[in-house]
Copies of this chain bind each other. A is one copy, B any other.
Amino acid sequence: MIDPVVQALIDALRGLPGVGPKSAQRMAYHLLQHDRGAAVRLSQSLLQAVDEIGHCERCHTFSRDRVCATCLDPARDPRLLCVVETPADQGALERSGSFRGLYFVLAGAVSPLDGIGVRDIGVGPLLTRASDGVVEEVVLATNFTADGEVTAHILTEQLRQRGLKVTRLARGVPVGSELEYVDLGTIAHALMDRR
């Protein structure tokens, strides 16, 4: 008894990550019942973003321009290249305010179980980018998950073959945490990498 147009909206909302059938129905009904303005705004923002936002041709982050502002910033050190899985990870590093080099954004991490290989995440373009003769050190900032670690491992081998210095973000005890509640793997790493 749900109108096909409403059902189409519910189905489209399920395309959002983390939204199941119940949430999608709740969202659709909420928008139609209480906030049609928000629905129109969301529709316009989606179209505008899809139309205007592409990928920077140097670092592959989201950008409206051919080359993004970060890549064009002359104050950044072009000898340092930080590799992240997503623009969100790049944002987290930028907010820390402690990296002044350039970035390269992969399209996620390799995931053998999901059939996502090095080709799918853009390792080729990264190797080309890192071999420009200016980059000296590549900082691997993929996630510390199984997929992220595998990706870092693969990248380390391929980048070292090209004579580049490859480093990885330090593993250790998170700032503000009590040792009693830190997991054993983290403590073991923090002990090994003590300085």
Which residues on A are within 8 Å of B, measured CB to CB? 1-3, 5-6, 8-9, 11-13, 15-18, 23, 25-36, 38-50, 52-53, 62-64, 69-70, 86-88, 91, 94, 107-108
State whether B12 touches A87 (Cβ < 8 A): no
State whether A16 touches B45 (Cβ < 8 A): no
Q: CA separation between A15 and B44, bound complex, in Å?
A: 13
State whether B52 touches A46 (Cβ < 8 A): no
Q: How many copies does the complex hold?
A: 2
Q: Which residue of B lies closest to A95 (CB)?
A: B1
State whether A43 touches B47 (Cβ < 8 A): yes
State whether A12 touches B38 (Cβ < 8 A): yes
State whether B107 touches A45 (Cβ < 8 A): no
Q: CA separation between A74 and B123, bound complex, in Å?
A: 64
State whether B25 touches A42 (Cβ < 8 A): no
User: Which of A49, A62, A108 has the largest count of B CB atoms less than 10 A from its CB?
Assistant: A49
- Measured between beta carbons, the chain B residues less than 8 angstroms from A50 are 31-32, 36, 39-40, 43
**Shortest CB–CB separation between residue A181 and chain B, in angstroms?**
23
- Measured between beta carbons, the chain B residues less than 8 angstroms from A9 are 45-46, 48-49
**Shortest CB–CB separation between residue A82 and chain B, in angstroms?**
14
